[in-house]
A and B are shown apart, each in its own frame.
Chain A
Amino acid sequence: MRFDFIASYVSAFTGPWWKFLYDFSLLTTPVHEWLNGSVSPFWTTVIEMVVVGVVFLLFYAVVGLFLVYAERKVCAFIQNRLGPNRIGPYGIFQTIADLVKLLFKEIIPIKNADSLLFNIAPYIVIIVNFMALAAIPYANGLHAIDFNIGIFYILAVSSMSVVGVLLAGWSSNSKYSLIGAMRSGAQIVSYELSIGLALITIVILSGTMQLSEIVEAQRTGWFIFKGHIPAIIAFIIYVISSTAEINRGPFDMAEAESELTAGYHTEYSGIKFAFFYLAEYINMFIVASIAATMFLGGWMPFHIGNLEGFNMVMDFIPPFIWYIGKTFFIIWIIMLFKWTFPRLRIDQLLTLEWKYLLPINLVNILVMSFLVLKGWHF
Chain B
Amino acid sequence: MTANQIMFILFALMIIVFSILTVTSRKILRAATFLLFVLVSTSGLYFMLNYQFLAAIQLTLYAGGIVVLIIFSILLTSHINQKFESPGLKKVIFSALASAAGAILAIVTLLDYNFSATTEAAKEVDMNLIGKSLLSVEYDGYILPFEVISILLLAAMIGAIVIAKKGGPAKIQSTILNKE
Contacts and interface: CB of A to CB of B under 8 A. Distances in A.
A163 B75 contact: no
Given A45-B3, A159-B59, A159-B65, A120 B75 contact: no
B61 to A, nearest CB: 8
Contact of B75 (A147, A157, A178, A209): A178
Nearest to B1: A42
Interface string A145-170: 00111001101110110110011011
Q: How big is chain A's contact interface, by range? A: 35 or more
Interface in A76-130: 112-114, 116-117, 120
A286 to B, nearest CB: 15
Contacts of B125: 148
Contacts of A208: 127
B28 to A, nearest CB: 11
B52 interface: yes
Contacts of B12: none
Contacts of A114: 27, 29-30, 80
B29 A157 contact: no
Nearest to A147: B52
A98 to B, nearest CB: 31
Interface stretch (B66-74, B102-110, B155-163): B66-74
B4 to A, nearest CB: 10
B15 interface: no
B150 interface: no
Contacts of B71: 163, 166-167, 170
Main secondary structure of the interface of B (DSSP, over half): helix
Contact of A159 (B60, B80, B124, B126): B60
Q: How large is the interface on B (under 10, 10 to 19, 20 to 34, 35 or more residues)?
A: 20 to 34
Given A117-B29, A149-B53, A163 B80 contact: no
B14 interface: no
Contacts of B72: 166, 182, 185
A366 interface: no
B48 to A, nearest CB: 13
B92 to A, nearest CB: 23
B2 interface: yes
Contacts of A209: 127
A135 to B, nearest CB: 10
A181 interface: yes
Nearest to A152: B56
Contacts of A201: none
A173 B80 contact: yes
A189 interface: yes
B68 A166 contact: yes
Contact of B64 (A148, A160, A178): A160
A171 interface: yes
B38 interface: no
Contacts of A153: 52, 56, 59
A170 B80 contact: yes
Contacts of B53: 149, 152
B81 interface: yes
Contacts of B29: 114, 117, 167, 170-171
Nearest to B80: A173
B80 A113 contact: yes
A114 B27 CA distance: 9
Contacts of B68: 159, 162-163, 166, 185, 189
A117 B56 contact: no
Contact of A155 (B33, B60, B76, B126): B60
A116 B127 contact: no
A160 B56 contact: no
A155 B64 CA distance: 10
B59 A157 contact: yes
Nearest to A121: B33
Interface of A: 41-42, 45-46, 112-114, 116-117, 120, 147-149, 152-153, 155-157, 159-160, 162-163, 166-167, 169-171, 173, 178, 181-182, 185, 189, 208-209
24 contacts: A112-B80, A113-B80, A114-B30, A116-B30, A147-B56, A149-B53, A149-B56, A152-B60, A153-B56, A156-B59, A156-B64, A159-B65, A160-B59, A162-B64, A163-B36, A163-B63, A163-B67, A163-B71, A166-B72, A170-B29, A173-B80, A182-B72, A182-B75, A189-B68
Nearest 7 A/B pairs, CB to CB: A159-B64, A156-B60, A156-B59, A156-B56, A173-B80, A147-B52, A166-B71
